[in-house]
Structure 1
Amino acid sequence: MKAVQYRKIGQRPEVVEVAKPQPGPGQVLLKVTAAGLCHSDEVVMSAPDALGYELPMTLGHEPAGIVEELGEGATGIEVGTPVIVHGCWGCGVCEMCAAGKEMLCLNGMTSPGLGSDGALADYMIVDTPRRLVPIGDLDPVRAASLTDAALTPYQAILSVLPKLKGGTTTVVIGVGGLGHVAVQLLRELTGTRVIAMDVTQDKLDLAKECGAHEVMPSGPDAAEAVKKLTGGRGAHVVFDFVGIDKTAELAVACAGVEGHVVLVGAGGGGVKVGFFTVPSNTTISTSLWGGRAELGQLVTMAQRGQIHIQTRTFSLDDVPKAYQLLHEGQIIGRAVGVPSL
């Protein structure tokens, strides 16, 4: 079968032929229908040690597919069911996993495409049926990226939801695969005013289409513009979906007293936090992915038409080109690999 793999440190992904996998006891064989591409894949491929992952590795941690075959003892799902895959594969027994927070597994989380072979292939193995979330008649191309591009901002928003009351202001920095969904979720879940920032006009246009009340370039004057729009107060909540030093510093600059800055992007940056460097009583937190229960909630929202992921599709042969476009910032919304193309 065909697969897109990261094979050697420092090299770009390759399309290769590999053997079709067979499900072992308790496992599920999925015929892949769609798989989203993510900046996290770029982080892995730019790291000097591939973050410790064993290579070669098939990429793709946003899977949608149809259950093709059940391994011995696998129960709870029927062959032929269209599903997406919750990508946070924890141990299942530590206190975080027991609380439904497998993304915070104390024994180390793995994921398809981030530690094991992923979904950018004709078929993939899922280690247990409990990772699967049925999607009914949802378009798999739209549904695949619910697993990360929607789940990650959803979890981040839920972590500060009590602060997002009517009359508040929220800033979203970075209107990419995650940020454009965050804007929609904020509009659906809260009464906050949403200010979206990015460096390109096409992404600001997308933010406006997704419901942002205000859009502006994330340049040196952005924080002052936020202060002006809020009568000098600053934002109550700021989400940074980029995660480099400049955006983290901008996030803090946009925040007001008793504000909350959530650093979500995996850009490798950060910000200095101290008594005199952030507004008084400001909270700085990070947010990693999300739980399976929350993924089920997002599927229901998508089925009701409350959220919509902007996608651009590519055949598996063209996925390396898609990663290059993603690297260059030329993908609006989410790139999705589709094996049937």
Structure 2
Amino acid sequence: MALSSEALHKVYYTMTTIRQFEERMIKEFMAGNIPGFVHTYDGQEAVGVGICTHLTDEDIIGSTHRGHGHCIAKGCDIEAMILEIMGKQGGLCNGKGGSMHIADFDRGMLGANAIVGGGPPLCNGAALSAKTLGTKNIAVSFSGDGSSNQGTVMEALNLAGVLDLPHIFIFENNHLAEGTGDEYAVSGDIANRVASFDIPAVKVDGLDFFAVYDAMEKAVEHTRSGKGPYAIEADVIRFDGHFIGDPQAYRGEGELDDLRANKDCLKIFRKRVTSEGLMTDDELDMLDAQAGDAIEQGVQRGLAAPQPAVEELYTDVHVSY
């Protein structure tokens, strides 16, 4: 399906927002303004945006420890995310979750997850709820190549297949897990593994937004129509280490420079839309600037905001129904 000019603008704005957001979070972390560990998503923007462009606020996503990009792609508020990551009042979880535990139920963001492979079982629950209630809503779980080896993921695939759940499994294969290559740690293609559960599965170029978008369009049509689960393995790269501060000793000499020059999904998108006359460089530059301004505003608000009061330690512990 062809995207309108307005849709293309939104897609690129979201992608460049994720990129600039992550670059700024690295700076703020290094400046001591962010507590805990932070795992960045830059390099993988085409996947998160290509997937979430098809979703509504009523659709549920489950993320990973590398969840900032998924949050932004799902529509979470940028300033509230920055406040959360900085551990400040007014954050999406009032500053008590931090980078790896951002959630926003109003946007269908079930939560980032510090447990590798923790998202798919949770999304099975959301998918089962949608099926039981008879809605057309779907659940989408994001996982990496490392989590594809987890028993929780295998069990989630099996249960989704057995119950014909409206659950789309997304595997972002950046080939590194934490720092171990998939050629060493993962036997065969992830998509082929999923197919063994009798679940339709495809493998796409995760650097190409349009390839991801088209694959997700077919997945959503399949799943919303009640045909059960689906899976997409996206072949991607990440620009930064497993976490901010990771020395990346597992990288080859000049590898990162080559990736940034030749495998940048934003550059690939820009080249495609400008060469086809869909967008101009001036339009893209304007969106870059707008995203940067929004992030700067959020950072300044985050730096000035107070931390949660000590008394807040005892709130949000239990859910009242």
Q: Same fold (TM over 0.5)?
A: no
Q: TM-score, normalized by length of structure 2?
A: 0.35
Which structure has the greater CA radius of gyration?
1
Q: TM-score, normalized by length of structure 1?
A: 0.33
Higher helix share: 2
Whose relative contact order is higher, 1 or 2, with alpha carbons under 8 Å and at least 6 apart?
Answer: 2
